[in-house]
Amino acid sequence: MDTEMAQLPRIPSTEADPTFRVSRGRIRQSIMGWTYAPMPVPELARLCREIGFAAMEGIDPSHYPLIRELGMEIALVGSHGFSKGPLNPNNREEVVSRLRQGIETAAKFGSKRVITFTGMREPGITEEAAMRNCVETWRMLLPLAEEKGVDLCLEHLNSRDLGHTMKGHPGYFGDDVDLCAELVRRVQSPRMKLLFDFYHVQVMHGDVIRRYRELQPIIGHLHVAGVPGRGELDERQEMNYPAILRAVADSGYEGFVAQEFLPTWEDRELALRHAAAVCDV
């Protein structure tokens, strides 16, 4: 557990409902499955269904048939990683290939979104050249994305948190959410969207409700986690998630909101139920 998280009081289990199940449903909840490793995906999937999640993501495609059998959707399909991205034209062939595969997989399982990233900054590649390279690469995918009805979702990541490889990404080119929004707009297609992660936006910028409202027309997917530390959505972190999720629901957003926190509670199942309750506004 992070030192910064450990110094904050743990919420007693009695304050979280061990029987909670999503009832309001204004927010269609998903989970990034990697965060709950090493819990086996089938076990996590059945827990999510029991809680009332609408979807899952961030899991190996071999589990997609089970997710669909359980009545949940695949909220977001993976593609290339965040390190080796389209900002370098030498990566273009691999990135395009992985994105094509992701789009085909998404279409096969009824998903509407595939994740993409800018990649890491590289010496000798200016900001404008990096932006141009990214846009040119994503435009190559548009005919297939349009044919299959699948959106590419560019994720903004923070470069400030150095405490864990999945809490922050030093050197990531798309660490400014406004730059990512500009990249989305330059592609000039309704099939290009922004993945707005409240955790990363808070770490880099703050003012998340206003930023969400400003960017909502181009947002295709949402992620949530506590700040600091990427822990639970509990009272040890600084974001007012009930207010944030009410703003999302009131905006008319119809996509998914994925839980992407790294659990620190002793009872990890209870932590997930608690997060689902926080978001069931």
pTM as predicted: 0.94
Q: What is the mean pLDDT of residues 208-222?
A: 98
Rounded to the nearest integer, the mean pLDDT of the chain is 94
Give me the domains of the chain, ranges plus CATH numbers. 3-279 (3.20.20.150)
In this prediction, residue 10 has a pLDDT band, given cuts at 50, 70 and 90, of very low
The pLDDT, as a whole number, for residue 222 is 99
H-assigned helices in the chain: 3-6, 41-51, 64-69, 92-108, 127-148, 177-187, 198-204, 208-215, 241-250, 268-279
Contact 136, 91 (CB under 8 A): no
Average pLDDT over residues 192-198: 98
Q: What is the pLDDT of residues 66-112, one digit of tens each?
A: 999 999 999 999 999 999 999 999 999 999 999 999 999 999 999 99
Does 1 have pLDDT greater than 80?
no
